[in-house]
Amino acid sequence: MERLMEKLKNLPDHPGVYLMKDEAGDVIYVGKAVSLKNRVRQYFQSSRNHSPKIRIMVSQIRDFEYILTDSELEALILECNLIKKYKPKYNVLLKDDKTYPYIMVTTEEEYPRVVVTRRVNKDKNRYFGPYTSARAVRETIELMRRIFPIRSCNKAVKEGVREGRPCLYFHINQCLGPCQGNVSKAEYQAMVKEICKFLDGKHDDLLEDLRIKMSEAANNLEFEKAARYRDRIYAIERVMENQKVVYASSAEDMDVIAFAQGEGNTVAQVFFVRNGKLIGSERFVLDDTRDTELKEIISSFIKQFYIMSSYIPKVILVQDDIEDADVVMKWLSEKRGSRVYIHAPKKGDKKELVDMAFNNAQDALRNLEDKLKREETRTFGAAKQLAEYLGLDKVPYRIEAFDISNIQGTESVASMVVFEGGKPKNSDYRRFKIKVVEGPNDFASMAEVIERRFKRGIEELEELKKQGKSPEDGKFSRMPDLVLIDGGKGQLNIAVSVLRRLGLVDIPVISLAKRLEEVYVEGKSEPVDIPKSSDALHLLQRIRDEAHRFAISYHRNLREKNSLRSILEDIPGIGPKRRAALLKCFGTLEAIRNATVEELASVEGMNMRAAQNIIEYLRGNAE
């Protein structure tokens, strides 16, 4: 603590970003400041009336770092990127952008495609989103493909080069057939611009362009071409008929954002208004916002949402003013290329729009909280029922489940998943590579994993006690109320013997055998009679299946990486450093196969020639 106080004394009076760290060195909070000296010191001043959340955070701070910037605007951009990178525990977090689908128009290609992606790269492609519903993305793409005959194949199409036979989409007039040389690059690119306008919601501008093109085609006696434009106009007009006019006073583009704050979560409702019409909406749930001020939630959401978004509107309407509005507007204006306004209207049409978004957010929050309460009641009832069937002294709140995964003994791994209150606690999930056991020996592998997990937990507990800390501060120090083993009596006996040898005699252990879904407990040769239709058994099955899924996904990931590494070894010019960089960036063979030459060349240590070698090798082997 003395070292921390000494660092506080030496803080500079300068703009920058600060990163708060806990005992393990993990970043638990990221913030920006006009003056690092004044802002960071405030956290440690007892005279300040901090919220309970801030007080808990400060109690866990063991160190901090800071990065100087030339301005508050630079600090804001860096803060956004660091929050996205570290996902700190005490920041208000919009889920990782990789979990949200985007629509990507591959404008880096000569003849672009429209695809779904969950990865937003810094490239020349156009991204639209994020969307919270993958179904909505698919429906949008399906609608768009009916209006615009854009290609959907993965062929490396070049102007004037024929690539095999045309596909079904060409024959049903849903693709212009660039692979057959039927459309020039300029004409195709013009259609791509129309698609981007459509996805941006600029339907009026798009209709005006299409009407001009239809008239020109008709005047040139190109009646088939004019008919295609006419059909596009008709389809877009039908889409617009379903859009509600919500703000007829102005044609400016607006996003309307409102928040409904509950006991533990906050729902953000976003309306997208283009040319006075509501063209779409998205809803986001922000977890663990208890004791967080609404102003901070609004500011955090805007920064995280628009750092991911491909389009910035001229006006953003919110329900309350935010403290750093000036610097956020300056940042958004630079991203957009023209002035952006953040406004909290107090009356008039715009206030009615915010109220409408707020009412929708409140309705969504009520539905969410009702659902959570029903789940909580059901899961507590299942845990209570389970305790009765097993004869436990208390209802198990924390349940840890273990599973082994391998194929003929290769790449043996194990998973540990944790459920608290009947819900997954993903932050406590752990994965293990089997180190000692060789070959397909599930019993010995289970013994190794149980020993490693609980031996580490015992050592952590002793260390935390010496430091006067809680078991909550460790990664393995929290002990479960119940251990669930995936397997039969053999796996159960192995786990029990290891735990008892380590002196852990009070932790009950059970196993769940897959074939007949039988539950075995310590000291009984016959399975416990738990009805197949009971909530107690369903809870165990859900936890066991999650452990199995987590183990399988880890095992599959290792196999794919090893397989990919061996494939890359055969490609000329791809050495160990390049292989490692490609694995880190893309992870899977499919991702590398779908990457463009430019994306591959942008990886650290790569160049255009090496990227072209990869493309040619993978395509040659695919054929």
In the chain, pLDDT over 90 holds for what percent of residues?
27
* Whether residues 405 and 539 fall in one domain: yes
> pLDDT tens-digit profile of 297-311?
999 999 999 887 778
pLDDT in the model for residue 251: 66
Residue 599 sits in a domain whose CATH number is 1.10.150.20
pLDDT in the model for residue 622: 43
* Whether residues 78 and 112 fall in one domain: no
Q: Which two tokens stand for residue 64?
A: 């901090």
User: Three-state SS string across 461-498, please?
Assistant: HHHHHHCCCCHHHCCCCCCCCEEEEECCHHHHHHHHHH
* Whether residues 363 and 318 fall in one domain: yes
> Does residue 236 form part of some domain?
yes
Residue 352 sits in a domain whose CATH number is 3.30.420
Burial of residue 371 (CB within 10 Å: 0-12, 13-18, 19+) is exposed
> pLDDT tens-digit profile of 181-239?
888 888 899 889 888 888 877 777 788 888 888 998 888 888 887 888 888 887 777 76
> Does residue 615 form part of some domain?
yes
Asked, as a colleague might, if the bond just before 130 is cis with ω within 30 of 0, I would say yes
> Does residue 421 form part of some domain?
yes
From CA 283, how far away is CA 141, in angstroms rounded? Answer: 20
> Does residue 356 form part of some domain?
yes
Over residues 347-359, the mean pLDDT reads 90
* Whether residues 340 and 468 fall in one domain: no
Among residues 28, 63, 90, which one ends one of the domains?
90
* Whether residues 72 and 133 fall in one domain: no
> Does residue 386 form part of some domain?
no
Average pLDDT of the chain to the nearest whole number:
84
pLDDT in the model for residue 562: 57
> Does residue 373 form part of some domain?
no
* Whether residues 53 and 112 fall in one domain: no
* Whether residues 274 and 341 fall in one domain: yes
Residue 40 sits in a domain whose CATH number is 3.40.1440.10
Instruction: Answer yes or no: is pLDDT of 583 > 90.
Output: no
Domain residues for the domain of 268 are: 254-367
Number of domain units in the chain: 5
Instruction: Answer yes or no: is pLDDT of 623 > 50.
Output: no
Over residues 125-132, the mean pLDDT reads 80
pLDDT in the model for residue 84: 83
SS3 93: coil
* Whether residues 236 and 265 fall in one domain: no
Instruction: Answer yes or no: is pLDDT of 265 > 70.
Output: yes
338 — pLDDT class (breaks 50, 70, 90): very high
Looking at residue 536, its amino acid is A
From CA 476, how far away is CA 458, in angstroms rounded? Answer: 8
pLDDT in the model for residue 563: 55
* Whether residues 239 and 125 fall in one domain: yes
399 — pLDDT class (breaks 50, 70, 90): very high
From CA 555, how far away is CA 265, in angstroms rounded? Answer: 34
Instruction: Answer yes or no: is pLDDT of 410 > 60.
Output: no
pLDDT in the model for residue 572: 75
* Whether residues 235 and 146 fall in one domain: yes
Instruction: Answer yes or no: is pLDDT of 52 > 90.
Output: no
> pLDDT tens-digit profile of 559-573?
555 555 566 766 777
> Does residue 301 form part of some domain?
yes
* Whether residues 432 and 514 fall in one domain: yes
Helix (H) or strand (E) holding 105: strand 102-105
From CA 414, how far away is CA 451, in angstroms rounded? Answer: 12
Q: Look at the chain and count its residues.
A: 623
Residue 408 sits in a domain whose CATH number is 3.30.420.340
Among residues 194, 221, 245, which one ends one of the domains?
245
Which residue has 């006019």 as its token pair?
Answer: 245
SS3 567: helix
Most confident of 90-94, 98-102, 274-278, 365-369: 365-369
Within 395-480, strands assigned E span 398-407, 410-420, 423-424, 430-433
Instruction: Answer yes or no: is pLDDT of 17 > 50.
Output: yes
Over residues 587-611, the mean pLDDT reads 77
DSSP structure string for 260-322: EE-SS-EEEEEEEEETTEEEEEEEEEE---TT--HHHHHHHHHHHHHHH-S---SEEE-SS--
pLDDT in the model for residue 620: 55
In the chain, pLDDT over 70 holds for what percent of residues?
91
Closest CA to 543 of 428, 444, 439: 428
Among residues 245, 264, 279, which one ends one of the domains?
245
By the 8 A CB rule, do 212 and 232 touch?
no
> Does residue 563 form part of some domain?
no
Enumerate helices (H) and strands (E) in the chain, giving the number of each: 19, 19
Higher-pLDDT residue of 290, 255: 255
Lowest-pLDDT choice from 216-230, 404-418, 429-443, 532-546: 404-418
pTM score, whole prediction:
0.64
Instruction: Answer yes or no: is pLDDT of 256 > 80.
Output: yes
* Whether residues 297 and 199 fall in one domain: no
